[in-house]
Amino acid sequence: MRPARMTKYAAALAVAATLAGCAGGEKTAEVDPYAHTRDSSCYTVDLFTDVEITPPAPSVPSDWKAFSGRWGGGKWAGEWCHDLYVLNIAPTGEVQVVETYAPYAPWGKRATAFTRRATIGKDGKLRLRYGDTSLVYWVKDGVLYGERDEAGGKTIIAMERRAA
């Protein structure tokens, strides 16, 4: 995986935004570092079995309920397509998800689909970890944002809600 490119990209955006803000005292539009990670045509895999998304119980905190459903249309670092199905959310913060990925040869990634356990913490962020990979997701203004740390390299993504 080449997450260092993402780090350099984000750093270049920050420097460019700072320099643009200093030039002539004019205000400039903020650069969205997640914009390049969104791609509504992104495709991962077809699941061989149907998955059921269970609506959260009334006792689940309302901000946690926003995670429920299928998310897609995003690429890690603008390169590797990913979907996330949030199947159920317990009032304790335990979450069952299915994460799917498209193949991406430059990073040595194969097409995959995994069922995993995640948690939502008091900070309202959904986290999962396996091997040397950790993922953190949060919902803001109807968009699912994420950060992936794999073997010390970090990448970002933004996804939209999809029909299950």
What is the predicted pLDDT for the residue at 32? 92
How many whole angstroms separate alpha carbon 11 and alpha carbon 7? 6
What is the predicted pLDDT for the residue at 28? 65
What is the predicted pLDDT for the residue at 31? 87
What is the predicted pLDDT for the residue at 26? 59
Report angle CA 92, 57, 141 to the nearest 5 degrees: 85
Q: Cβ distance 37 to 69 under 8 Å?
A: no
How many whole angstroms separate alpha carbon 32 and alpha carbon 17? 10
Match 């897609």 to its residue by tokens.
Answer: 72
Low-confidence ranges of the chain (pLDDT < 50): 1-23
What is the predicted pLDDT for the residue at 139? 98
pTM above 0.85, yes or no: no
Dihedral sign of CA atoms 6, 20, 40, 116 in order = positive
What fold is seen in the domain 34-162?
A: Lipocalin (2.40.128)
> Beta-strand (E) ranges in the chain?
69-76, 80-89, 94-101, 112-120, 126-130, 133-140, 143-150, 153-162
What is the predicted pLDDT for the residue at 74? 98
Type of residue numbered 160: E
Dihedral sign of CA atoms 32, 35, 29, 138 in order = negative
What is the predicted pLDDT for the residue at 27? 61
